[in-house]
A and B are shown apart, each in its own frame.
Chain A
Amino acid sequence: MPDERANESATPLLEVEDLAVEFDTPAGPLRAVRGVSFEVGECETLAIVGESGSGKSVTAQTLMGLVPLSARIAGGRVAIEGRDVVGLSDREWQALRGERISMIFQDPLSALNPSLTVGYQIAEMFRRHRGAGRAEARRRAAELMAQVGIPDAERRLDDHPHRFSGGMRQRVMIAMALALDPRLLIADEPTTALDVTVQAQILRLLRQRQRAERLGMILISHDLGVVARAADRVAVMYAGRIVETGTVAEVYERPAHPYTLGLMRAVPDPRDIGAPLEAIEGRPPDLAARPAGCAFHPRCPFARDVCRTDDPAPRELGLRRASACHFAEEVIAHGRG
């Protein structure tokens, strides 16, 4: 996707700097997110990609001011439209959530009230946040449902969530997330539970709404294909840290971190039928037993002695392009092969 749109506005919609999040566990503090930095601009989609447990959802929850009870922000800065939000009160967060920044999840059912009609739940947002009257709120709810492609919107207002298919429920979630015209949308695995043809519908809908509203978007996914299709830029997470960032084209064509390279080679190549996959040996580390030095070193084919002792900080390789590897240049030169 063209990248020029990325830097249009001076202040990014979202800035994250050196974020760290820790859980209190019986065995002591567990650092689930460390040294995470990124920006999201207007009309831009940043994908966060990584394997299970790498810290994607914890990062997303933190951006929404929804750190889990047993967790706390252990360092760093988060700014939404230039305003620092770490440490805001619940009240202050309530004025931001939905209004400036919204989120959708893998499982929309968990976010919808099963005993209220969908129309009521959407209309309620207009009534509570916009002071709309009953009829006005209902009219706007119907409008919004039509906008996200729910057929027969008017009639379906009175249905309960369980009467909707998975894809239609995700459309309802998107409608609710966008009801108050936020500037930022976080989508945490929004299509993971959906079939591939429905996934294509939802990705297309998200793109359309994003263009129309000039939204900044964070798309969290473990699916490299979905990221390739839907994102402008990508941040690859491993063991709580962003190990590589860049435009999707840069990162997919010339990975600058061995983990990214490994992921690319572990996915069946669309251009090539039958070449053996190159699996990454081993598995992601247990955060409680994070390896010393570079967390990826036990699985890394590029590892040298220094990797076992020195944890590489993210290094700028170009404009908004970085890698947290001591040997990034070597990895780029190596190529996807």
Chain B
Amino acid sequence: MAEAEPLLELSDLVTSYRLRPGIGRPGGEVRAVAGVSLTVHAGETVGLVGESGCGKSTIARTIVGLVRPSGGKVLFDGRDLGTLPAKELRRLRRDIQLVFQDPYASLNPRMTVAALIKEAWRIHPGLVPRERWDDEVRALLERVGLRAEHAGRYPHQFSGGQRQRISIARALAVRPRLIVCDEAVSALDVSVRAQILNLLQELQRDLGVSYLFISHDLGVVRHLCDRVAVMYLGKIVETGSKEDIYRSPAHPYTQALLSAAPSLDDWRADEDGEHGEIVLTGDVPSPLRPPTGCRFRTRCWRAQDRCRDEEPALVERDTGHPVACHFPGALPPPATTAPEGGRPMKE
């Protein structure tokens, strides 16, 4: 798998939003994605994790062409989406579909499920002959676990989980090779979430589709993904196989994220009810003014002078997988940082 040409390749991608000056706030440019390289191979699921505002959705929007990158490249099948002629670009866009967190917002409430799915075939004519549309709608609905006879219903007549199935059916309608799932299961209840995760896996097994699976839920990502990239403030700080990331995380942020994530086993605490989790101090800095050097240094318990002056590159160190940290390692953190957080440890 790793030998083959990647299906999707992001190379040093930069995406910025321009902010107009407001009251008490200067204008400026937010580099929401500040130089990200990432690959997804055919038939693979890559997880992208990180806290809100770190740039995950911006990556998703850039890949599907909803926003333009201000630097770097998006390659699909080896072709640069930024320089492709319009006609070919449209053809390629079909291969990449996006499924959002809130299916209600992305489904036109005035269209029936059948019309929503057929719309995709109108946009991409020639894919399914018109006389097959009704049959194909029925097949797609069955495929995602909905009743074919509900094709005439409207989105509000379905539950959240069912609406997510409709979004997936619509994405599948154009036979994509890559589906970008942006928090696609985050709004679902546990029992329904498991149904959708199983469906995604089944579709991959049967159709060979690849996923870029964006989530803040580390448990779900571990369950679903082959490889994982961890993002912080617009950059990838660590990437590797699922085992690399979950069994031997080397970046302090990855370590903190994993240790903060609650799990079913957490009731096995020590006598004081402590979990020995790393509790980071403070909040994520504004992407308008990221810290110099390492972007994580204001919350990092390993930070040293070098971290302020020199930005660590995302390269394979003696960790066996790429880590953007000057002092990576499996070292257990000091007992835990001060609990009454807020104050950066280093300035």
Contacts and interface: CB of A to CB of B under 8 A. Distances in A.
Interface string A81-111: 0000000000000000000000000000000
Nearest to A259: B191
Nearest to B192: A283
Contacts of B70: none
Given A271-B265, A283-B159, A283-B161, A197 B260 contact: yes
A201 interface: yes
A249 B267 contact: yes
Chain B interface extent, by class: 35 or more
Given A52-B189, A268-B223, A150 B260 contact: no
Contacts of A1: 267, 269, 273
A274 interface: yes
Nearest to B253: A197
A44 to B, nearest CB: 12
Interface string B273-314: 101010110111000000000000000000000000000000
A91 B262 CA distance: 41
B190 A263 contact: yes
B257 A284 contact: no
Most buried by B among A2, A168, A195: A195
Interface in B192-207: 192-195, 197-198, 201
Contact of B190 (A228, A267, A273, A276): A267
A196 B284 CA distance: 12
B340 interface: yes
B194 A279 contact: yes
A312 B242 CA distance: 44
Interface residues of A, number: 52
A280 interface: yes
A134 interface: no
Interface string A199-237: 111011101100000000000001111101100000000
Nearest to A250: B267
B201 A276 contact: yes
Contacts of B259: 200
4 tightest CB-CB pairs across the interface, nearest first?
A225-B262, A151-B342, A149-B340, A279-B194
Given A226-B262, A284-B191, 19 more contacts: A52-B189, A149-B342, A195-B51, A195-B52, A195-B284, A197-B256, A201-B341, A225-B219, A229-B266, A252-B264, A263-B190, A263-B191, A267-B194, A268-B220, A269-B264, A270-B265, A276-B201, A277-B197, A277-B223
